[in-house]
Protein backbone atom coordinates (compact mmCIF):
# COMPACT_ATOMS: atom_id res chain seq x y z
CA UNK A 1 0.00 0.00 0.00
CA UNK A 2 1.63 3.27 -1.15
CA UNK A 3 1.74 6.50 0.79
CA UNK A 4 -0.83 8.07 -1.56
CA UNK A 5 -3.28 5.26 -0.85
CA UNK A 6 -2.72 5.71 2.88
CA UNK A 7 -3.32 9.44 2.49
CA UNK A 8 -6.45 8.86 0.43
CA UNK A 9 -7.86 6.44 3.01
CA UNK A 10 -6.94 8.91 5.77
CA UNK A 11 -8.89 11.66 3.99
CA UNK A 12 -11.89 9.41 3.26
CA UNK A 13 -12.21 8.22 6.86
CA UNK A 14 -11.76 11.78 8.13
CA UNK A 15 -14.47 12.90 5.70
CA UNK A 16 -16.80 10.21 7.00
CA UNK A 17 -16.13 11.04 10.66
CA UNK A 18 -16.70 14.77 10.11
CA UNK A 19 -19.80 14.29 8.00
CA UNK A 20 -21.43 11.69 10.23
CA UNK A 21 -20.58 13.53 13.45
CA UNK A 22 -22.71 16.42 12.20
CA UNK A 23 -25.81 14.24 12.53
CA UNK A 24 -25.19 14.27 16.27
CA UNK A 25 -23.46 17.62 16.75
CA UNK A 26 -25.91 19.91 14.91
CA UNK A 27 -29.01 18.75 16.87
CA UNK A 28 -26.96 18.91 20.09
CA UNK A 29 -25.93 22.52 19.42
CA UNK A 30 -29.58 23.35 18.68
CA UNK A 31 -30.63 21.72 21.93
CA UNK A 32 -28.20 23.67 24.11
CA UNK A 33 -28.98 26.86 22.14
CA UNK A 34 -25.43 27.50 20.93
CA UNK A 35 -26.58 29.77 18.10
CA UNK A 36 -24.42 32.34 16.31
CA UNK A 37 -25.15 35.97 17.27
CA UNK A 38 -25.21 38.15 14.12
CA UNK A 39 -24.20 41.82 13.96
CA UNK A 40 -25.54 43.31 10.74
CA UNK A 41 -22.75 45.88 10.69
CA UNK A 42 -20.29 43.00 10.24
CA UNK A 43 -22.02 41.76 7.09
CA UNK A 44 -24.87 42.42 4.65
CA UNK A 45 -28.28 43.10 6.18
CA UNK A 46 -29.72 39.83 4.83
CA UNK A 47 -27.28 37.87 7.03
CA UNK A 48 -29.63 38.68 9.92
CA UNK A 49 -31.72 35.66 8.89
CA UNK A 50 -28.77 33.45 9.90
CA UNK A 51 -29.19 34.54 13.52
CA UNK A 52 -29.24 31.50 15.78
CA UNK A 53 -27.61 29.06 13.33
CA UNK A 54 -25.60 26.61 15.47
CA UNK A 55 -21.95 27.55 15.85
CA UNK A 56 -18.82 25.64 16.94
CA UNK A 57 -19.39 23.13 14.12
CA UNK A 58 -15.63 23.22 13.63
CA UNK A 59 -15.54 20.37 16.14
CA UNK A 60 -16.51 18.11 13.22
CA UNK A 61 -13.18 18.52 11.41
CA UNK A 62 -11.20 19.06 14.61
CA UNK A 63 -12.20 15.61 15.88
CA UNK A 64 -11.73 13.89 12.51
CA UNK A 65 -8.35 15.57 11.89
CA UNK A 66 -7.04 14.67 15.35
CA UNK A 67 -8.06 11.03 15.05
CA UNK A 68 -6.96 10.48 11.48
CA UNK A 69 -3.67 12.42 11.66
CA UNK A 70 -2.52 9.93 14.28
CA UNK A 71 -4.26 7.00 12.55
CA UNK A 72 -2.72 7.86 9.20
CA UNK A 73 0.72 8.25 10.76
CA UNK A 74 0.59 4.81 12.38
CA UNK A 75 -0.64 3.22 9.16
CA UNK A 76 2.29 4.80 7.33
CA UNK A 77 4.76 3.79 10.03
CA UNK A 78 3.55 0.17 10.15
CA UNK A 79 3.39 -0.14 6.35
CA UNK A 80 6.97 1.04 5.87
CA UNK A 81 8.39 -0.54 9.05
CA UNK A 82 9.91 2.68 10.34
CA UNK A 83 12.46 2.28 13.10
CA UNK A 84 10.89 3.77 16.22
CA UNK A 85 14.34 4.30 17.78
CA UNK A 86 15.67 6.41 14.90
CA UNK A 87 15.90 10.16 15.71
CA UNK A 88 14.52 11.13 12.29
CA UNK A 89 11.41 9.03 12.95
CA UNK A 90 10.89 10.70 16.32
CA UNK A 91 11.41 14.16 14.88
CA UNK A 92 8.99 13.59 11.99
CA UNK A 93 6.28 12.39 14.38
CA UNK A 94 6.89 15.25 16.80
CA UNK A 95 6.62 17.80 13.97
CA UNK A 96 3.27 16.27 13.06
CA UNK A 97 2.26 16.38 16.71
CA UNK A 98 3.49 19.98 17.02
CA UNK A 99 1.26 21.31 14.22
CA UNK A 100 -1.70 19.29 15.51
CA UNK A 101 -1.33 20.57 19.08
CA UNK A 102 -0.69 24.10 17.79
CA UNK A 103 -3.94 23.95 15.82
CA UNK A 104 -5.82 22.55 18.82
CA UNK A 105 -4.55 25.35 21.06
CA UNK A 106 -5.70 28.00 18.59
CA UNK A 107 -8.97 26.13 18.35
CA UNK A 108 -9.18 26.47 22.13
CA UNK A 109 -8.83 30.25 21.81
CA UNK A 110 -11.67 30.19 19.30
CA UNK A 111 -13.78 28.00 21.59
CA UNK A 112 -13.37 30.41 24.50
CA UNK A 113 -14.30 33.26 22.17
CA UNK A 114 -17.37 31.40 20.83
CA UNK A 115 -18.51 30.34 24.28
CA UNK A 116 -18.20 33.90 25.57
CA UNK A 117 -20.31 35.21 22.68
CA UNK A 118 -23.01 32.61 23.27
CA UNK A 119 -23.03 33.20 27.04
CA UNK A 120 -23.34 36.97 26.57
CA UNK A 121 -25.85 36.60 23.70
CA UNK A 122 -23.91 39.08 21.56
CA UNK A 123 -21.02 39.09 19.11
CA UNK A 124 -18.41 40.32 21.61
CA UNK A 125 -16.13 37.50 22.73
CA UNK A 126 -12.55 37.79 23.90
CA UNK A 127 -10.97 41.22 23.60
CA UNK A 128 -8.38 41.72 20.83
CA UNK A 129 -5.63 42.02 23.45
CA UNK A 130 -6.65 38.77 25.15
CA UNK A 131 -6.53 36.99 21.79
CA UNK A 132 -3.14 38.44 20.86
CA UNK A 133 -1.60 37.48 24.20
CA UNK A 134 -2.81 33.88 23.92
CA UNK A 135 -1.84 33.64 20.25
CA UNK A 136 1.65 34.98 21.00
CA UNK A 137 2.22 32.49 23.82
CA UNK A 138 1.07 29.51 21.75
CA UNK A 139 3.08 30.70 18.74
CA UNK A 140 6.24 30.93 20.81
CA UNK A 141 5.68 27.40 22.04
CA UNK A 142 5.14 26.13 18.49
CA UNK A 143 8.29 27.82 17.14
CA UNK A 144 10.28 26.34 20.01
CA UNK A 145 9.00 22.84 19.20
CA UNK A 146 9.81 22.95 15.49
CA UNK A 147 13.28 24.26 16.37
CA UNK A 148 13.76 21.44 18.86
CA UNK A 149 12.57 18.76 16.45
CA UNK A 150 14.65 19.37 13.40
CA UNK A 151 14.32 22.91 12.01
CA UNK A 152 17.14 25.04 13.31
CA UNK A 153 17.23 27.26 10.22
CA UNK A 154 16.56 30.94 10.86
CA UNK A 155 16.60 32.10 7.25
CA UNK A 156 13.52 33.22 5.34
CA UNK A 157 13.12 31.10 2.21
CA UNK A 158 11.40 32.93 -0.65
CA UNK A 159 12.67 30.46 -3.25
CA UNK A 160 14.37 32.96 -5.55
CA UNK A 161 16.03 34.51 -2.49
CA UNK A 162 17.06 33.23 0.90
CA UNK A 163 17.90 35.62 3.68
CA UNK A 164 21.04 35.18 5.74
CA UNK A 165 20.56 33.53 9.11
CA UNK A 166 18.53 35.93 11.25
CA UNK A 167 19.01 34.24 14.62
CA UNK A 168 16.44 35.23 17.21
CA UNK A 169 15.06 37.92 14.87
CA UNK A 170 13.61 35.14 12.69
CA UNK A 171 11.28 34.14 15.54
CA UNK A 172 10.47 37.77 16.32
CA UNK A 173 9.38 38.19 12.67
CA UNK A 174 7.43 34.92 12.57
CA UNK A 175 5.24 35.79 15.58
CA UNK A 176 3.33 38.61 13.77
CA UNK A 177 3.28 36.48 10.60
CA UNK A 178 1.51 33.70 12.51
CA UNK A 179 -0.92 36.10 14.16
CA UNK A 180 -1.73 37.85 10.87
CA UNK A 181 -2.27 34.64 8.90
CA UNK A 182 -4.33 32.85 11.54
CA UNK A 183 -6.60 35.86 11.95
CA UNK A 184 -6.79 36.22 8.15
CA UNK A 185 -8.22 32.70 7.97
CA UNK A 186 -10.66 33.68 10.71
CA UNK A 187 -11.81 36.69 8.64
CA UNK A 188 -12.41 34.44 5.63
CA UNK A 189 -15.17 32.66 7.53
CA UNK A 190 -17.98 35.05 6.60
CA UNK A 191 -19.85 33.28 3.81
CA UNK A 192 -21.35 29.79 3.96
CA UNK A 193 -18.78 27.23 2.85
CA UNK A 194 -16.02 29.72 2.03
CA UNK A 195 -13.37 29.07 4.66
CA UNK A 196 -13.85 25.30 4.56
CA UNK A 197 -13.59 25.19 0.76
CA UNK A 198 -10.48 27.39 0.54
CA UNK A 199 -8.78 25.43 3.32
CA UNK A 200 -9.65 22.11 1.65
CA UNK A 201 -7.76 23.29 -1.42
CA UNK A 202 -4.87 24.65 0.65
CA UNK A 203 -4.44 21.27 2.36
CA UNK A 204 -4.45 19.42 -0.97
CA UNK A 205 -1.73 21.75 -2.26
CA UNK A 206 0.29 21.26 0.92
CA UNK A 207 -0.09 17.47 0.55
CA UNK A 208 1.48 17.57 -2.91
CA UNK A 209 4.32 19.71 -1.55
CA UNK A 210 4.81 17.38 1.43
CA UNK A 211 5.21 14.48 -0.99
CA UNK A 212 7.80 16.36 -3.04
CA UNK A 213 9.73 17.41 0.09
CA UNK A 214 9.44 13.91 1.61
CA UNK A 215 7.53 15.20 4.61
CA UNK A 216 5.42 12.06 4.47
CA UNK A 217 4.28 12.10 8.08
CA UNK A 218 3.05 15.67 7.80
CA UNK A 219 0.96 14.74 4.77
CA UNK A 220 -1.12 12.54 7.11
CA UNK A 221 -2.19 15.75 8.86
CA UNK A 222 -2.88 17.72 5.69
CA UNK A 223 -4.99 14.94 4.17
CA UNK A 224 -6.87 14.31 7.41
CA UNK A 225 -7.78 18.01 7.53
CA UNK A 226 -8.68 18.10 3.83
CA UNK A 227 -11.10 15.22 4.37
CA UNK A 228 -12.45 16.81 7.54
CA UNK A 229 -13.14 20.11 5.76
CA UNK A 230 -15.00 18.28 3.01
CA UNK A 231 -17.13 16.42 5.56
CA UNK A 232 -17.92 19.68 7.33
CA UNK A 233 -19.01 21.31 4.07
CA UNK A 234 -21.96 18.90 3.97
CA UNK A 235 -23.34 20.98 6.84
CA UNK A 236 -21.85 24.36 5.98
CA UNK A 237 -22.57 25.00 2.30
CA UNK A 238 -25.33 27.54 1.67
CA UNK A 239 -27.77 27.50 3.32
CA UNK A 240 -25.56 26.55 6.26
CA UNK A 241 -27.04 24.23 8.86
CA UNK A 242 -24.04 24.94 11.09
CA UNK A 243 -21.14 27.43 11.29
CA UNK A 244 -17.59 26.46 12.19
CA UNK A 245 -17.30 29.40 14.59
CA UNK A 246 -14.00 30.81 15.78
CA UNK A 247 -13.40 27.33 17.23
CA UNK A 248 -13.04 26.03 13.69
CA UNK A 249 -11.56 29.02 11.89
CA UNK A 250 -8.78 29.53 14.47
CA UNK A 251 -7.95 25.82 14.23
CA UNK A 252 -7.76 26.11 10.44
CA UNK A 253 -5.65 29.27 10.64
CA UNK A 254 -3.07 27.59 12.84
CA UNK A 255 -3.12 24.48 10.63
CA UNK A 256 -2.38 26.46 7.45
CA UNK A 257 0.30 28.61 9.08
CA UNK A 258 1.83 25.77 11.06
CA UNK A 259 2.14 23.53 8.02
CA UNK A 260 3.84 26.28 6.02
CA UNK A 261 6.32 26.99 8.80
CA UNK A 262 7.17 23.33 9.37
CA UNK A 263 7.93 22.96 5.67
CA UNK A 264 10.07 26.12 6.04
CA UNK A 265 9.02 27.31 2.57
CA UNK A 266 7.82 30.85 3.23
CA UNK A 267 7.02 31.77 -0.37
CA UNK A 268 4.97 28.59 -0.71
CA UNK A 269 3.13 29.38 2.52
CA UNK A 270 2.31 32.92 1.37
CA UNK A 271 1.04 31.75 -2.02
CA UNK A 272 -1.10 28.97 -0.57
CA UNK A 273 -2.49 31.45 1.98
CA UNK A 274 -2.90 34.31 -0.51
CA UNK A 275 -6.72 34.21 -0.52
CA UNK A 276 -6.71 34.66 3.24
CA UNK A 277 -4.05 37.36 3.03
CA UNK A 278 -6.12 39.35 0.52
CA UNK A 279 -9.18 39.02 2.75
CA UNK A 280 -7.35 40.52 5.73
CA UNK A 281 -5.55 43.10 3.60
CA UNK A 282 -8.89 44.40 2.30
CA UNK A 283 -9.89 45.18 5.88
CA UNK A 284 -6.60 46.98 6.56
CA UNK A 285 -6.93 49.03 3.34
CA UNK A 286 -10.56 49.92 4.06
CA UNK A 287 -9.94 51.02 7.65
CA UNK A 288 -6.78 52.97 6.75
CA UNK A 289 -8.45 54.78 3.83
CA UNK A 290 -11.56 55.54 5.89
CA UNK A 291 -9.50 57.10 8.69
CA UNK A 292 -7.33 59.05 6.23
CA UNK A 293 -10.29 60.52 4.30
CA UNK A 294 -12.16 61.32 7.51
CA UNK A 295 -9.18 63.30 8.74
CA UNK A 296 -8.61 65.03 5.39
CA UNK A 297 -12.18 65.64 4.20
CA UNK A 298 -14.17 65.47 7.42
CA UNK A 299 -15.98 62.31 6.36
CA UNK A 300 -14.76 58.76 5.94
CA UNK A 301 -14.79 57.22 2.46
CA UNK A 302 -14.60 53.59 1.43
CA UNK A 303 -12.84 51.73 -1.36
CA UNK A 304 -14.91 48.55 -1.00
CA UNK A 305 -18.64 48.31 -0.41
CA UNK A 306 -17.90 46.18 2.65
CA UNK A 307 -14.98 44.19 4.03
CA UNK A 308 -13.62 41.55 4.23
CA UNK A 309 -13.64 41.53 0.46
CA UNK A 310 -16.00 38.56 0.11
CA UNK A 311 -18.72 40.89 1.45
CA UNK A 312 -17.84 43.40 -1.31
CA UNK A 313 -18.57 40.69 -3.88
CA UNK A 314 -21.74 39.77 -2.01
CA UNK A 315 -22.92 43.40 -2.01
CA UNK A 316 -22.10 43.50 -5.74
CA UNK A 317 -24.60 40.73 -6.45
CA UNK A 318 -22.52 37.56 -6.18
CA UNK A 319 -24.37 34.64 -4.61
CA UNK A 320 -22.65 32.83 -1.75
CA UNK A 321 -22.09 29.81 -4.01
CA UNK A 322 -20.48 32.02 -6.67
CA UNK A 323 -18.18 33.60 -4.07
CA UNK A 324 -17.12 30.17 -2.81
CA UNK A 325 -16.40 28.97 -6.35
CA UNK A 326 -14.53 32.16 -7.32
CA UNK A 327 -12.36 32.24 -4.21
CA UNK A 328 -11.71 28.49 -4.42
CA UNK A 329 -10.57 28.82 -8.02
CA UNK A 330 -8.27 31.65 -6.94
CA UNK A 331 -6.92 29.34 -4.23
CA UNK A 332 -6.20 26.68 -6.84
CA UNK A 333 -4.37 29.19 -9.07
CA UNK A 334 -2.28 30.53 -6.19
CA UNK A 335 -1.61 27.00 -4.93
CA UNK A 336 -0.46 25.75 -8.33
CA UNK A 337 1.80 28.80 -8.55
CA UNK A 338 3.20 27.79 -5.17
CA UNK A 339 3.93 24.28 -6.45
CA UNK A 340 5.62 25.72 -9.54
CA UNK A 341 7.87 27.98 -7.45
CA UNK A 342 8.72 25.04 -5.19
CA UNK A 343 9.75 22.92 -8.15
CA UNK A 344 11.65 25.80 -9.74
CA UNK A 345 13.62 26.99 -6.72
CA UNK A 346 13.98 23.99 -4.43
- Sequential DSSP letters for 137-181: HHHHHHHHHHHHTT------B-SS-BPPP-THHHHHHHHHHHHHH
Q: Is the pLDDT of residue 92 over 90?
A: no
Residue 118's pLDDT band, with cuts at 50, 70 and 90, is confident
pLDDT in tens, 119-132: 776 666 788 899 99
What does each C-alpha distance from 237 to 180, 231, 314, 326 come to in angstroms?
A: 26, 11, 15, 14
Q: Give the residue extent of every domain in the chain.
A: 3-345
61-69 mean pLDDT: 98
Sign of the torsion angle spanned by Cα atoms 196, 202, 203, 204? positive
Three-class DSSP category at 54: strand
Q: Does the pLDDT at position 22 exceed 60?
A: yes
pTM for the complete prediction?
Answer: 0.94
Whether the pLDDT of residue 46 is over 70: the answer is: no
pLDDT in tens, 149-187: 877 899 999 988 999 999 999 999 999 999 999 999 999
pLDDT at 85 over 90: no
- Nearest of 191, 200, 210 to residue 310 by alpha carbon: 191
pLDDT digits (tens, 9 = 90+) for 245-270: 999 999 999 999 999 999 999 999 99
CA 17 to CA 43: how far, in whole Å? 31
Cα–Cα distances (Å) from 289 to 184, 285, 305, in that order, read: 19, 6, 13
Amino acid sequence: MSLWIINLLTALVSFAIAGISGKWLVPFLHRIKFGQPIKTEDGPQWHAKKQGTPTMGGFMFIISTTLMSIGGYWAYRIRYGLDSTAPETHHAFYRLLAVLVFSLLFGLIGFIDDYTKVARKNNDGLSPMQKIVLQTLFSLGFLFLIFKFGDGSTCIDLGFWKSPSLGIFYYIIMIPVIIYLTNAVNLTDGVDGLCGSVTFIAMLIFTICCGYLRENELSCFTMALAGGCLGFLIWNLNPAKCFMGDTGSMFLGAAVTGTGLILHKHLLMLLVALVYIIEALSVVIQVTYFKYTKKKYGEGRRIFKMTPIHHHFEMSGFSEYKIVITFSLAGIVFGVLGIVTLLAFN
